[in-house]
Structure 1
Amino acid sequence: MIPRILPWALCMGALMTAAVASPPGTYTLRIVVDQFGYLPDLPKVAVISDPQVGFNSGASYTPGATLEVRTWPDNAVVFSGVPVAWNGGATHSQSGDRVWWFDFSSVQTWGQYYIYDPANDSRSPLFRIDQKVYEDVLKQATRMYYYQRRGMAKVQPYADARWTDGTNFMGSLQDSQCRLISNPVAGTQKDLRGGWFDAGDYNKYVTFTCSVLSDLLFAYHQNPLIWPDDWNIPESGNGVPDLLDEIKWELDWLLRMQNTNGSVLSKMGVNGFQGACPPSAETSQTFYGAESTSATLTAAGNFAQAVRAYQSVGMTAYANTLSNAAVAAYTWAVANPSVIFNNTGFQSADPEVAASDRTNMQMRAAVFLYDLTGQPAYRSYVEANYTAIHGISSWWWNYYDSYIQDALLYYTTLPGVSPSVLSTIRSYKQDSMNGSGFMGAWTSATDAYQAYLADGDYVWGSSQEKGHAGMLYDEQATYGLDSSQATNYRACAAGYVHYMHGVNPLSMVFLSNMYEHGATNSANEIYHCWYAHGTIYDDALTSPNGPAPGYVPGGCNASFVQDSAYTGPRLAPPLDQPQQKSYKDWNTGWPEDSWQITEPGIYYQAAYVHLLSRFVRPMTYQDWATGYGLSGAAADPLADANRDGVLNLMEYAFNLSPQMNESTNLPQFRLEPQTVQGVTGTYLTVQFARQLGQTNLTYLVEASLDLVNWTAVCTASGSNPASGPGLISETGTAYLRQVLACDTVPVETARTPRFVRFHLVLN
């Protein structure tokens, strides 16, 4: 392809070339959409429900013959269509609803919209279609981990004023003076501060971090350009993506849990589930449990998987620490394969796992240690044991074993893997996806809400299974499986995102208190010691503060058991409901035991964050053109869509808009003091925004003496770091960067006129 080049130049002067209306109708829960919105290029299906069975069976609704997509705030109709009855008008057993689908996928222009039903004068929530529609949602969901930090005060500006709190668990005989539960004397005292609260209680369990860190580290590994350094946590601005800073908080705790012989302690916290509100008010003594093989293998896998991430951001010393810790842990576990911690002394959760899980944990650790070291012993262990995972032994790649399944898929990308092992892993994954529980469910439209789980999978923590189910589809593209169906796999994965965002029989976003972040109806209450029933944090709508935003509750749980000590009215819901209505938005503790439904967990959170991160991506030129509604000749990179003298490619490249006059907003060259190659002086300098989404786009800052011969002083190509003798700095860690560059000759020593220009080259 002939390069498309856009130049403009600057000499050492200043020459440069180149009515609001309210939505009509009444908001109804019966027209459900993703309340945050949709990516422009993905399917968009609103679900209209007429409840037949369950707590809302009296809320009958039949849509009109035609529904409309309208813009807001101007209420213009941009699309109209016919809602189509699901399964010929049958009642969907998992929801108890009759359902219609309204497909408006052809609407792709960025903006805010709603679905309007003229016949019933009713409408959906407002939602956006936008390339960046999930970025703030992902930010809030990831910031949940900051609020879960143990041993750190939550202070402004990092914490919202509503959720500030003093330091927790750092008092006498607490985390920095933690003692062995079976022998709590001074001689067993250890500094075990840090880490995250596991869930709605404040305890910490090493084995429970296995899927958490697997998901979060893969979220970074698979999409590193989307993670910025400005999410307002204490480490923001340090040049490291905030996700990695947050993960480091947990890894640092795990390093403290490691003994000098390589073994890792099993758990720590209070001896039960004591948890005052707020966390700083809890003064109970904390304890740790002895080392175990399962905890040690978990930590080995976590440390080993994390090494590549920290190497990639230049944290070499920390990566080496993790690598050494991983090897030490693995070595101890191999030598001590059956050390069990039986939870004696604790009344809190038992962190021990089955023998088959220990095998999986060892395989996971071996995968990443083989990646780091290339040592055959690690490969041999994986290849001798991989057929034992459920995905192969039971012919079902499932939602429950994500950490080992994901590790084995990653293993297939490494050098030196036996071809037969590689083929077996990939073929079993594909065979599962071809089955009735995955693509079969999609092609037959088994789930009226387009995020299928089997009846028996709506159990305690089903939100985690939704996240992992979505990832099973998304991984097809990641690992190049069945590429002919890539579009369908992507649509399937998106269905699970939309379910979490409100496309479900509850018409509820499965995230806490997201009203300030785009949701119309989100989870109001979660079972959590901090955001406890009867406190100022109780309810997002009726309490002064409500819970912090972005927590993922456990989800629908058709296996909810009413406590024998409970004597009040029958808890229906969540009892006596179809699977997808087995939920109640409440947080009352014993004996109502709401923790079975609404308690969050760092593992539910990680599954959702991992899935959602797959729907955030750097913006390509085509994304930009589609989002602004450009088509035909007007969408050509060398066109000037709004005739402002700035070509489309320039407006995309510098994060400008084709809908307004941007001629004065192009990067401006200025004379500024700089130090270049050790020489301090006044240089022609420019700062510019840079998109990393268009991999064949190169930004060039060039200098010349004669306007004929040009020399690059700064080059920024694709997603590679900017470079060149004139580069002063490149800031930002996500896909939109800021580059500061200048000429290499200062004004004070220039003996002839000098010219500086931009080149944009689209290959």
Structure 2
Amino acid sequence: MNTKRITLPVILALSGVSFAATAYINQIGYRTGGFKELTLFEGSGNVDFVDQSGQTVLSVTPSAAANWDGSGQSVQLVDFSELKTPGTYTIKVNGQEVRKDLKIADNTYGEVSKALLKWFYYQRASMALDEQYAGKWKRSAGHPDMGVAFHSSATGGSGTVDSPKGWYDAGDYGKYIVNSGISTYTLLSLYEHFPAYFDKLKWNIPADGNLPDLLAEIKYNLDWMLTMQAADGGLYHKLTTLQFCGTVMPNEDVDTRYIIGKSVTATYDFAGVMAVAARVYEKFDATFATKALEAAKKAYAWGEANPNVFYKQPHDVATGTYSDNNAKDEKNFAAAELYVTTKDASYKSEGAFTTIPGWADMSGLVTYSKASHSDVFSDAAAAKDSLLAAADRYVKNASTGFGVPMTKGDFYWGSNSVAANMGVWLLYAYYLTADKKYYNSAVRTLDYLLGKNPMDMSYVTGFGSKSPMHPHHRPSQADGINEPVPGMLVGGPQPGGEDIGKNEWECKDYRVNGAPAKSYLDDECSYASNEVAINWNSPIAYLAGAIEALNSGFAPSFAVNGVVALPKVRPVLKAVDGSPKLRFDSHKVFIESNGIRYDLKGKKLK
């Protein structure tokens, strides 16, 4: 019998079935005058943007399709930066409606930025969260941490110690010096870079004297960190129970808590953070600043005398370890920050590095410090070169796929924080050069985290058309409220599958073979992809907060156009009448006083 072969397209045409294109967007929205881009999958023809009256206001031809190894998809990028009128738009591809939730607005990241920062308030230990500040997520106080006993691993400790305050580390109720280190540093640097902006920004948290909200929140954790320093200067590693508790609220976790371990990595992390705190808080509380600096110096001295005291998990403890056996990066970090604060040449840091910062490798923070303090470090130029070399790679990586600088190998535990830290890195490159390619790629990275990704979801709870509803976060799991605590960045997709198993409390296999960027599960069981943590929230809080500050007219404090450092600008500032401030508008820096604008030489601008 003679048969005719019917191809798939013919079958689909005969049946009336067709593949629908998918448009992945930043679900929070795009800035009116800013860079705007979406990712298109399985689309053909132009992409049309239709306003609420039904009029097509922009039509864009997508870039050529290219495979993205993170998800295994062949996708196109669509630049619609010319769409500048505020509003909500429908997106059509080849006449077919693919979504109608595209938002264009001013101050796009203002609310999500404040929520990302306010989440640290929700993580506070040792205090009740009142309805006035916490709304429906109010809760009783948990973990007063008064009279905490020393575990046998906490060498040199005897009796008990009062160690209240601090932030819960993640979805559990432990408090860890190492992870507090990089988290607190990141938030301190956000304030240090944009002090005038954050001096006035508020997001409804309890006041602490005359401190701005950001510094009030940070100090709540710094106060705890100071209680973890031993009399000899070394830092105890963590304060936790022996085992993780069940799914209960903080006040219901009544197991005995201990001061556990001592480590050189925690000690150097603490030294670096306190060195930054000393210079940031000096203008608000000189006594506290002096206390922080003396604690930093004492810690650094202990680290030099005890270079091989690494944390080893005791056999009866099963809470987070945060251990590594290489303290060179932590020592370099501490030395760099102490040198910036004290100008004491005995604090020597080595080299410049291109590693994205993380709790286990702080070397990238050394590069940040050196590149942004050209008036302090003799090797600042080399650090800047290293930083820009890495930033150029990220710009190239972000030019295809979903616009994120990540490659397939960057999807490991906490991948969303990898993306956020890459975005921060790109902002440093922008500060140092004023080259918009770095700024645009930083924006692309935030786009990815807020919806322009293969899961088509915002990874920040409470924000976006689709966001996580079941994070691995004990308060959100146990409080009886349908919505999780807002402003949390979940860990994100990664193929490790550490939470997959046959037990009832473990996850079924959610991994997608060959697509790490799709290996994610919005379920409470998934601590490997859906937990939250302070070191994940801090870089996205920096990223969103810094972008808002830049677009509100504030220049980064340490450098102007990569040439003029603040110390060189101060004489000009003093010479200008009134209360002059540096401003950053349309990616240009100027001085403004009493409504009059001046260039960086003090000359009036027209």
Question: Normalising by structure 2, what TM-score?
Answer: 0.83
Determine whether 1:156 maps to 2:136: no
From 420, 430, 446, the equivalent of 1:477 is 430
Determine whether 1:527 maps to 2:472: yes
CA distance in 2 between counterparts of 1:242 and 1:110 reads: 30
CA distance in 1 between counterparts of 2:397 and 2:384 reads: 21
Give the deviation of 1:549 after TM superposition: 0.7
From 461, 465, 473, the equivalent of 2:418 is 465
Q: Which residue of 2 aligns with 1:169?
A: 143
Per-residue deviation, residues 136-157 of structure 1 (Å, max 9, x unmatched): 0001111110110011111111
Q: Which residue of 2 aligns with 1:258?
A: 229
Give the deviation of 1:499 after TM superposition: 0.1
3-state SS of 1:167 partner: coil
Q: Which residue of 2 aligns with 1:725?
A: none
From 489, 500, 508, the equivalent of 1:552 is 489
Equivalent positions of 1:105-124 (< 5 A) are 105-117=81-93, 119-124=95-100
Greater Rg over alpha carbons, structure = 1
Determine whether 1:83 maps to 2:62: yes
Give the deviation of 1:187 after TM superposition: 5.2
Query: Compared with structure 1, are the counterparts of its residues 112 and 697 closer, same or farther at alpha carbon in structure 2 (3 Å cutoff)?
Result: farther
3-state SS of 1:107 partner: coil
Q: Which residue of 1 aligns with 2:5?
A: none
From 320, 323, 334, the equivalent of 2:290 is 320
CA distance in 2 between counterparts of 1:158 and 1:507 reads: 31
CA distance in 2 between counterparts of 1:259 and 1:118 reads: 67
Query: Compared with structure 1, are the counterparts of its residues 620 and 455 closer, same or farther at alpha carbon in structure 2 (3 Å cutoff)?
Result: closer
Give the deviation of 1:415 after TM superposition: 6.7
Corresponding letter in the other structure for 1:33 = I
Per-residue deviation, residues 230-260 of structure 1 (Å, max 9, x unmatched): 2111117x54221111110110000111122
Give the deviation of 1:718 after TM superposition: 8.9
Determine whether 1:386 maps to 2:348: no
CA distance in 2 between counterparts of 1:692 and 1:408 reads: 25
Q: Which residue of 2 aligns with 1:369?
A: 338
Q: CA RMSD in A?
A: 3.1
CA distance in 2 between counterparts of 1:241 and 1:275 reads: 36
Give the deviation of 1:470 after TM superposition: 1.5
Gaps of 5+ in 2: 1-19, 555-580
Give the deviation of 1:318 after TM superposition: 1.5
Determine whether 1:143 maps to 2:118: yes
Per-residue deviation, residues 418-437 of structure 1 (Å, max 9, x unmatched): 64x33332333333344xx4
Aligned 8 A contact 1:364 1:408 in 2: no
Q: Which residue of 2 aligns with 1:501?
A: 450
Aligned 8 A contact 2:249 2:475 in 1: yes
CA distance in 1 between counterparts of 2:63 and 2:265 reads: 51
CA distance in 2 between counterparts of 1:489 and 1:693 reads: 16
Per-residue deviation, residues 502-552 of structure 1 (Å, max 9, x unmatched): 0011110011122xxxx11111111012222xx555xxxxxx432111111
Q: Which residue of 2 aligns with 1:642?
A: none
Aligned 8 A contact 1:226 1:618 in 2: no
Corresponding letter in the other structure for 1:468 = N
Corresponding letter in the other structure for 1:346 = V
Q: Which residue of 2 aligns with 1:71?
A: 51
Q: Which residue of 2 aligns with 1:580?
A: 517
Gaps of 5+ in 1: 1-27, 51-61, 538-543, 589-593, 623-689, 701-715, 720-760
Q: Which residue of 2 aligns with 1:103?
A: 79
Per-residue deviation, residues 472-508 of structure 1 (Å, max 9, x unmatched): 222112233xx5xx12111111111000010011110
Give the deviation of 1:564 after TM superposition: 4.8
CA distance in 2 between counterparts of 1:338 and 1:93 reads: 40
CA distance in 1 between counterparts of 2:201 and 2:552 reads: 21
CA distance in 1 between counterparts of 2:594 and 2:104 reads: 31
Q: Which residue of 2 aligns with 1:743?
A: none
Equivalent positions of 1:7-18 (< 5 A) are none
CA distance in 1 between counterparts of 2:311 and 2:119 reads: 30
Determine whether 1:45 maps to 2:20: no
Corresponding letter in the other structure for 1:94 = G
CA distance in 2 between counterparts of 1:265 and 1:569 reads: 32
Q: Which residue of 2 aligns with 1:411?
A: 370
Give the deviation of 1:584 after TM superposition: 1.1
Equivalent positions of 1:121-520 (< 5 A) are 121-130=97-106, 132-161=107-136, 163-170=137-144, 175-182=145-152, 188-227=159-198, 228-235=200-207, 238-312=209-283, 314-344=284-314, 345-355=316-326, 358-378=327-347, 381-382=348-349, 385-386=350-351, 391=353, 396-398=354-356, 400=358, 403-414=362-373, 419=378, 421-434=379-392, 437-442=393-398, 445=399, 447-480=400-433, 486-514=435-463, 519-520=464-465
Aligned 8 A contact 2:598 2:605 in 1: no
Per-residue deviation, residues 656-713 of structure 1 (Å, max 9, x unmatched): xxxxxxxxxxxxxxxxxxxxxxxxxxxxxxxxxx99767544338xxxxxxxxxxxxx
3-state SS of 1:598 partner: coil
Corresponding letter in the other structure for 1:77 = T
CA distance in 2 between counterparts of 1:606 and 1:365 reads: 19
Q: Which residue of 2 aligns with 1:32?
A: 24
3-state SS of 2:76 partner: strand
3-state SS of 2:484 partner: coil
3-state SS of 2:528 partner: helix
CA distance in 1 between counterparts of 2:374 and 2:40 reads: 50
Give the deviation of 1:164 after TM superposition: 1.1
Q: Which residue of 2 aligns with 1:703?
A: none
Query: Compared with structure 1, are the counterparts of its residues 217 and 718 closer, same or farther at alpha carbon in structure 2 (3 Å cutoff)?
Result: farther
CA distance in 2 between counterparts of 1:156 and 1:338 reads: 47
Give the deviation of 1:398 after TM superposition: 3.5
Query: Compared with structure 1, are the counterparts of its residues 399 and 300 closer, same or farther at alpha carbon in structure 2 (3 Å cutoff)?
Result: closer
CA distance in 2 between counterparts of 1:342 and 1:618 reads: 43
3-state SS of 2:460 partner: strand
CA distance in 1 between counterparts of 2:180 and 2:582 reads: 35
Query: Compared with structure 1, are the counterparts of its residues 92 and 366 closer, same or farther at alpha carbon in structure 2 (3 Å cutoff)?
Result: closer
Determine whether 1:92 maps to 2:68: yes
3-state SS of 1:159 partner: helix
CA distance in 2 between counterparts of 1:331 and 1:179 reads: 26
Q: Which residue of 1 aligns with 2:4?
A: none
CA distance in 2 between counterparts of 1:119 and 1:350 reads: 54
Corresponding letter in the other structure for 2:202 = D
Aligned 8 A contact 1:268 1:287 in 2: yes
CA distance in 2 between counterparts of 1:430 and 1:691 reads: 24
Query: Compared with structure 1, are the counterparts of its residues 363 and 495 closer, same or farther at alpha carbon in structure 2 (3 Å cutoff)?
Result: same
Corresponding letter in the other structure for 1:78 = V
Report sequence identity in percent: 23
Question: Normalising by structure 1, what TM-score?
Answer: 0.67
Per-residue deviation, residues 311-355 of structure 1 (Å, max 9, x unmatched): 24x222211111111111112222222223323242112232222
CA distance in 1 between counterparts of 2:262 and 2:539 reads: 27
Give the deviation of 1:83 after TM superposition: 3.5
Query: Compared with structure 1, are the counterparts of its residues 186 and 48 closer, same or farther at alpha carbon in structure 2 (3 Å cutoff)?
Result: closer
3-state SS of 1:158 partner: helix
